[in-house]
Amino acid sequence: MKKPHYPAPVTAQELHNVLDAQTQAYYTQGIPSLEQRLSNLDTLFDILKNNQQAIAQAISNDFGHRAHQETQLAELFLCLDGIRYVRKRLKKWMRPQKRSVSIWLLGSSNTVIPQPLGVVGIVVPWNYPLFLCISPLISALAAGNRCMIKMAANSSGLSHLLRTLFAEKFPQEMLTIVQGAKGSDFSSLPFDHLIFTGSSNTGRQVMRAAADNLTPVTLELGGKSPTIIAPDYSIAKAAKRLLFAKFLNAGQTCVAPDYVFVPEGKVDEFITAAKAIVAERYPNIENKDYTSIIDDTAYLRLKGTLAEALGQGAIATTLVPNSIANDITRKFPPTLLTGVKDTMRVMQEEIFGPILPIMTYHHIDQVLEYIHHRDRPLALYLFSDDKKTQEKVIRKTRSGGVCMNDTALHVGQHDMPFGGVGESGMGQYHGVEGFLTMSKLRPIFKQARYPSLSLMYPPYGKTFDKIIKIMLRL
């Protein structure tokens, strides 16, 4: 097959030129009206809706293989649904907000107006390249900003496609994908806001680069998201739900369950349920519904992580019978691990693949103590119908988000903020929080025609003393 021709990577100077053009357009064209913003969102919606097949195929090609159905469910639908949600509410979000006025400024008024920041930079990872590009873009366009987007090198096919599609409908000074840009060059640009999704280590580098320009950042970083199955909850039901999110995209998901706690004595029950579930969903790992690992580096890392755990005494249960990792297709079998130890890499690093360690506990406090002494995760999952257990886990843990009796679904809720905390990130977006993150809430004070403050001007005397005495009593 003929290798597609992509444009040459952009240089640091070319990046600055694009940013300068967008910045100049922001100042000369002014703040976009509601109608202009809705038009941009409509255009984005039409691009996605009219090119679904091409988008899904490009993503599959970039992975080596990914089922179109996964892209439709986990990316295309969430993007289109997110645009619908924002379009219905944008007028309300843009309204000036009346605020109260201090009593010593009678007759004046306070108003807060949400205005765009200017130019927003978006750094997109490869694992959900469409959703993690479009989701922050929706917030940025809704807030009236202009955008530059850098996609991952592993998403070159999708990047080229979106770059072409965007260029047909949006002027470069409004929206552009800068294909082939170096991460350090992009992060060093003096954006008005920068959104990065990726690893914690790279997030630190991005933040250092942004700090030189005092660019505010939103970091979505991931981490080891724990799952707890409480004693009151059905093991089979929990396994059915959590294994969907775990093996979706072959586990290459920032909010995938990273390890699971089950009550003592229920490990065999969990494994038995998992075998039945996975056998039905993925009869073999070459199944068209099962995704490849993104590249050789990631694939070999998973093989090395598993081998190290086995070498230190862990026991692996392959959930697809008679399957082994395929070095050609980079298909990695869904695998459960028991007998894990904290010293193993699988318990120290985010797995980002179809390996699920199982741990046991006698009392829920043991689980909370374990989670408390580790980095705050992007997500925490609890399977329990007991309200006291739910309240206790929420009260005694910290995480970017919580999902009860399922996993990962909180990310697709447009009316809730999404973001990490501590090691798993900072800032948040989606819905109105995304609009606010990409806006400057600009306070405007308007003095009254006859200001009451004039009674307080020097020279100070009896009038001042009387008024200040009353003010201090309030």
| Helix/strand/coil percentages in the chain, nearest 5 | 45, 20, 35
Q: How confident is the model at residue 264 (pLDDT cuts 50, 70, 90)?
A: very high
Those residues whose C-beta lies under 8 Å from the C-beta of residue 244, and which sit 6 or more positions away, are: 407
Residues 239-251 have pLDDT tens digits of 999 999 999 999 9
Predicted pLDDT of residue 314: 98
Residue 214 has pLDDT above 50, yes or no: yes
Distance separating alpha carbons of residues 117 and 109, to the nearest angstrom: 24
Distance separating alpha carbons of residues 445 and 439, to the nearest angstrom: 19
**Which percentage of the chain shows pLDDT scores above 70?**
99
Indicate which residue of 133, 147, 254, 403 is catalytic.
Answer: 254
Element (DSSP H or E) covering residue 410: none
Q: How confident is the model at residue 5 (pLDDT cuts 50, 70, 90)?
A: low
The owner of tokens 């060059």 is: 185
The mean pLDDT value for 118-128 works out to 98
Predicted pLDDT of residue 190: 98
Domains of the chain: 12-221+426-441 (3.40.605.10), 225-419 (3.40.309.10)
Joined together, the tokens standing for residue 326 give 């395929």
Residue 1 has pLDDT above 80, yes or no: no
Give bridge partners of residue 113 from the DSSP assignment: 442
Residues 333-360 have pLDDT tens digits of 999 999 999 999 999 999 999 999 999 9
Joined together, the tokens standing for residue 205 give 């580098």
Residue 417 has pLDDT above 60, yes or no: yes
Strand 97-99: give its sheet, edge to edge.
97-99, 109-116, 439-446
Those residues whose C-beta lies under 8 Å from the C-beta of residue 462, and which sit 6 or more positions away, are: none
The owner of tokens 């914690």 is: 200
The mean pLDDT value for 45-72 works out to 98
Predicted pLDDT of residue 322: 86
The mean pLDDT value for 363-376 works out to 96
Predicted pLDDT of residue 8: 74
Predicted pLDDT of residue 447: 94
Residue 259 has pLDDT above 70, yes or no: yes
Is 220 a known active-site residue? yes
Indicate which residue of 133, 220, 350, 403 is catalytic.
Answer: 220
Say which DSSP state 339 is in.
S
The mean pLDDT value for 141-155 works out to 97
**Average pLDDT of the chain to the nearest whole number:** 95
Query: Contact 300/321 with Cβ under 8 angstroms?
Result: no
Residues 418-457 have pLDDT tens digits of 999 999 999 999 999 999 999 999 999 999 998 988 988 9
The mean pLDDT value for 56-69 works out to 98
Joined together, the tokens standing for residue 116 give 């765009």
My answer on whether omega of the bond before 459 falls inside 30° of 0, hence cis, is yes
Distance separating alpha carbons of residues 176 and 169, to the nearest angstrom: 10
Joined together, the tokens standing for residue 334 give 């869904």
Query: Contact 245/277 with Cβ under 8 angstroms?
Result: no
Residue 273 has pLDDT above 70, yes or no: yes
**Which percentage of the chain shows pLDDT scores above 90?**
92
How many other C-beta atoms lie within 10 A of the C-beta of residue 435?
22
Residues 168-211 have pLDDT tens digits of 999 999 999 999 899 999 999 999 999 999 999 999 999 999 99
Query: Contact 402/63 with Cβ under 8 angstroms?
Result: no
Query: Contact 4/173 with Cβ under 8 angstroms?
Result: no
Distance separating alpha carbons of residues 309 and 343, to the nearest angstrom: 9
Q: How confident is the model at residue 6 (pLDDT cuts 50, 70, 90)?
A: low
Q: How confident is the model at residue 222 (pLDDT cuts 50, 70, 90)?
A: confident
Query: Contact 51/144 with Cβ under 8 angstroms?
Result: no
Query: 0.85 exceeded by the pTM?
Result: yes
Is 147 a known active-site residue? no
Predicted pLDDT of residue 219: 97
Residue 70 has pLDDT above 70, yes or no: yes
Distance separating alpha carbons of residues 230 and 264, to the nearest angstrom: 11
Residue 3 has pLDDT above 70, yes or no: no
What are the φ/ψ torsions at residue 345 (nearest 5 degrees)? Answer: -60, -30
Query: Contact 423/378 with Cβ under 8 angstroms?
Result: no
Q: Find the length of the chain.
A: 474
Residues 275-309 have pLDDT tens digits of 999 999 999 999 999 999 999 999 999 999 999 99
